[in-house]
Amino acid sequence: MCGLSGLIDASRQKSDDQLRDAALRMAQVLHHRGPDDIGSWTDAAAGVALSHRRLSILDVSPLGHQPMASSCGRYVASFNGEIYNFKALRAELERLGHRFRGRSDTEVLLSCLSQWGVESAVPKFNGMFAIAVWDRDERLLHLIRDRMGEKPLYYGWSGRTFLFASELKAFRTDPGFEASIDRDVLALFLRHGYIPAPYSVYRGMSKVRPGTIVTIAPDPGIEPQVHVYWSVAAAAEKGSSAPFRGTDAEAIAGLDQLLRDAVKLRMEADVPLGAFLSGGIDSSAIVALMQAQSAAPVRTFSIGFHEAAYNEAHHAKAVAAHLGTAHTELYVTPGEAMDVIPRLPAMYDEPFADSSQIPTYLVSALAKRHVTVALSGDGGDELFCGYDRYFLAADLWRTIGAVPSSLRRPAARALTALSPAVWTLIFRHLAPVLPRRFRPYHFGDLPHRLAEILAVDSLATLYRSVVSLWKQPTALVPGSVEPPTVLTDAALWPPASESFDRLMLLDMLSYLPDDILVKVDRASMAVSLEARVPLLDHRVVEWAWQLPVSMKVRRGQGKWILRQILNRYVPPALVERPKMGFGVPIDRWLRDDLRDWADALLDEKRLAEEGFFNVELVRAKWREHRSGAGNWHYYLWPILMFQGWFERERHAYPLGTRADAAAGCGGVAHRHAA
């Protein structure tokens, strides 16, 4: 795990020393991603510089130093991540006559490129990776991202300089970089709470999409070329066209074998290794398979909260005791959790508003005290239908879809006639007789959220409403035009035969890579910890899409097949309980301990001067939330995260950040097709 960066000077006026200095400045701000080593490579004739920060995991000797050149001399790479099947690839290459100096997967990667070429070699990699490869013969730069989007990679032209890096903050080291905030993307952020690929908060800068290779010529007049070598949509389509037709027992055995191998590959490391353990289905399954293949107790880590509604540590402890892991837990106070908040803008690099980023950072920091690599259980919900919202959306659509639209609008008005506070009182009396999945922690918000979705005309628009924070974000950002995404533009929805499949596929195309994996990457990298995600091995993903929904959902409960595997190792009583998530009580904190902090960021004069938001809309939500008349933390948190990020930008970079923020200032930014 590392950080990569670099540039192309299209004018080719810089010397090797100047290129090296520029590339090393970029790498230096990525120190947290790779504290063990720093390196650079330049070619002044081509105007190219690559730089690298190393977190040593495999072959910790100098033979793993990057950037690294292939033995044939054609390719130079800066590589962030892991190629888990590098040993098998190395053996194949040795049979073809290749020889190796060290034991790193980077050297194997480069030999693969030399043997098969970029587009043919990359599909052979089983791993998580972001790779920058300079082809010295063709004078082309290839930016490559792993299939599921576990590792980040940003790029774009700044004048006649092309910049690329693992994190956006590296671009701020370039004197010519204009940090112009894209108002359209800001509207997108307020809907999602994250910024989906290929967009970024800076105008003209893009993210490499998962499963793609972006090829750049050293000329700003030539558009980058995008090659898709794998996509989850194609995997889903292929799986549905050739579905698994065996028995339950055969499906369970097949998935168990795949998961065992995926876990085993990710246990390869020359440094201490452990796992995050929440005590839920996904993380417990990963730890169980780790322990089953380890001669020594696996190191496991969990964070606990003293507030019962947010605490799963005692469940994790019980699972760890049963499996015999070497378990470490840490209970944190609300004050300790809130102390993380000022660090979030620097940690997440661009606005990010999933509040589970706080405990994710805390558990990463805990694990880093003992290990350098930690396996995670992320991906199980999207693969095996684990989110309650899938069932909520399906149930709601069955209900409201049968009601004529002419009747829905009056019903919506009736639901909003009572305040959230009144609805809370009503639900407290009804809670004991409601189905468990309809017992949200914030009862009073449910009728108002239901009112927002009564006017939808399809499952597509219903799900968009369910997962959106601000339903009309362009009303909040004057002059903005919301860019299309797979979630907001129904025309981009991939085909799927089953409702549950469609919803899972949408999440795997958006929420998983752009929220969940961003959260894990930034939180773990902030403490120089490598996080690995076995459930996102592409073989597991492809197998999951071959399975019928009936092997994922039974008796109204998701993750059926994953539960069957886990039951081989852990008694169901230890893990079967309502899903809690990994959150913190942001709603209450904003009214109490965080009130002064939020007051300052949402100050009326400040909002008006900065000009990003409709001041009255923001202030109305904040007044209602403070007074308890409404519970609007899911509306307010993304605004606060943006405000905190923007404040840091201005303080960290004295020249300031170009906001293009005057009310009514619009315009659609030019975007690359990646």
Q: What is the pLDDT of residues 284-316, one digit of tens each?
A: 999 999 999 999 999 999 998 887 777 788 899
Report the percentage of the chain scoring pLDDT > 90: 72
2 is a catalytic site residue: yes
Cα dihedral sign, 238-241-245-248:
positive
Tally the C-alpha atoms within 13 A of residue 44's C-alpha that lie toward its C-beta.
Answer: 9
Is residue 421 pLDDT above 70, yes or no? no
Q: What is the pLDDT of residue 107?
A: 96
pLDDT at 532: 97
Residue type, 601: L
Q: Average pLDDT in the 97-123 region?
A: 96
Residue 61, pLDDT above cutoff 70: yes
Distance of alpha carbon 316 from alpha carbon 414, whole angstroms: 43
Order the strands of the 212-216 sheet from edge to edge.
68-69, 75-83, 127-135, 140-145, 212-216, 225-228
Known binding-site positions for ATP: 303, 376-377
Report the pLDDT value the prediction gives residue 431, as an integer from 0 to 100.
65
Question: Looking at 306-315, 386-395, 524-533, which range is the least confident one?
Answer: 306-315
CA–CA separation, 375 vs 274, rounded Å? 6
Tell me which H or E stretch contains 78.
Answer: strand 75-83
Place of tokens 């930690």: 374
| Mean of pLDDT over the chain | 89
Residue 256 Cα distances to 262, 306, 568, angstroms: 10, 35, 10
Q: Is the pLDDT of residue 441 over 80?
A: no
Q: Which of helix, strand or coil describes residue 660?
A: coil
Known binding-site residues for L-glutamine equal 105
pLDDT for residue 496 is more than 90:
no
CATH placement of domain 2-230: 3.60.20.10
- pLDDT above 50 for 671: no
Q: What is the Cα–Cα distance from 215 to 399, expressed in whole angstroms? A: 48
Residue pointed to by tokens 């009601």:
403
DSSP three-state, residue 557: strand
Q: Indicate the range of 57-66, 255-264, 439-448, 548-557 predicted with least confidence.
A: 439-448
Question: Where do runs of H (alpha helix) occur along 293-419?
Answer: 313-323, 334-338, 344-348, 357-368, 380-384, 388-400, 405-415
Q: Are 355 and 196 in contact (CB under 8 A)?
A: no
Rounded mean pLDDT, 263-271 = 93
Give DSSP secondary structure letters for 255-320: HHHHHHHHHHHTT--SS-EEEE--SSHHHHHHHHHHHHT-SSPPEEEEEEESSGGG--HHHHHHHH
Q: How far is CA 563 from CA 110, 255, 582, in A?
A: 40, 11, 20
Edge to edge, the sheet with strand 299-305 lists 326-332, 299-305, 273-276, 373-375, 530-532
Q: Is the pLDDT of residue 668 over 60?
A: no
Mean pLDDT (whole number) for 279-285: 95
List pLDDT tens digits, range 224-260: 999 999 999 999 999 989 999 999 999 999 999 999 9
Domain map (residue ranges) of the chain: 2-230, 233-384+506-574, 388-499, 586-652
- Indicate if the pLDDT at residue 488 is higher than 90: no
Which residue type is seen at 658?
A: R
Query: What per-residue confidence (pLDDT) applies to 2?
Result: 84
Band of pLDDT at residue 585, cut at 50, 70 and 90: confident
622: closest CA among 631, 613, 614?
631
Mean pLDDT of 30-57: 92
Q: Look at residue 597 and tell me whether its pLDDT is greater than 60.
A: yes
Helical pair 357-368 and 517-525, crossing angle rounded to 10 deg: 40
Three-class SS state of 198: coil
Grade residue 411 by pLDDT with cuts at 50, 70 and 90: confident
> What is the distance between the alpha carbons of residues 223 and 637, in angstroms, rounded to a whole number?
37
Select the highest-mean-pLDDT range: 42-46, 102-106, 442-446. 42-46
What is the spatial order of strands in the sheet that 154-158 belongs to?
Answer: 37-43, 48-54, 2-9, 161-165, 154-158, 206-207
**Distance between CA atoms of 50 and 165, rounded to whole angstroms?**
10
**Can you give the pLDDT at residue 663?**
37
**Interhelix angle for 232-241 vs 499-509, to 10°?**
160
Q: Say if CB 478 and CB 497 are below 8 A apart.
A: no
Report d(CA 599, CA 602) in Å as an integer. 5
Q: Is the Cβ–Cβ distance between 367 and 274 less than 8 Å? A: yes
Cβ proximity of 149 and 202 under 8 Å: no
Whether the per-residue pLDDT at 435 is higher than 70: the answer is: no
d(CA 341, CA 343): 5
**Neighbour-count burial of 144, counting CB atoms closer than 10 A to its CB (0-12 exposed, 13-18 middle, 19+ buried):** buried
Q: What is the pLDDT of residue 404?
A: 75
Which position has the higher pLDDT, 490 or 528?
528
**Residue 421: φ, ψ to 5°:** -65, -40
User: Vertex 628, ends 624 and 631: CA angle to 5°?
Assistant: 75
Bridge partners, 554 (sequence order)? 557
Catalytic residue from among 2, 72, 112, 665 = 2
pLDDT above 50 for 664:
no
- How do strand 373-375 and strand 273-276 relate by DSSP bridges? parallel
pLDDT of residue 333: 87
- Report DSSP state, residue 442: S
Would you mind telling me the total number of residues written for the chain in this entry?
A: 674
220-234, 515-529, 566-580 — which is least confidently predicted?
Answer: 566-580
**What is the chain's alpha carbon radius of gyration, rounded to the nearest angstrom?**
25
Q: Does domain 233-384+506-574 have CATH number 3.30.1490.20?
A: no
Q: What is the structure's pLDDT at 669?
A: 34
Q: Give pTM, 2 decimals.
A: 0.90
Q: Which amino acid is at 428?
A: R
Kindly report, residue by residue over 63-76, the tens digit of the pLDDT.
Answer: 888 999 999 999 99
CA–CA–CA angle 493, 495, 501 (5° rounding): 95
Q: Look at 427 and 542; give whichever has higher pLDDT.
A: 542
Which tokens is 164 given?
């690329």
pLDDT attached to residue 56: 75
Strand 212-216 to strand 140-145: parallel, antiparallel, or no bridges (unpaired)? antiparallel
Q: How many CA atoms lie within 13 A of 217 on its CB side?
A: 7
Q: Which pLDDT belongs to residue 392?
A: 87
Which of these, 541, 542, 526, 536, lies nearest to 82 by C-alpha position? 536
Instruction: State what percent of residues in the chain have pLDDT above 70.
Output: 89
CA–CA separation, 407 and 395 (whole Å)? 18
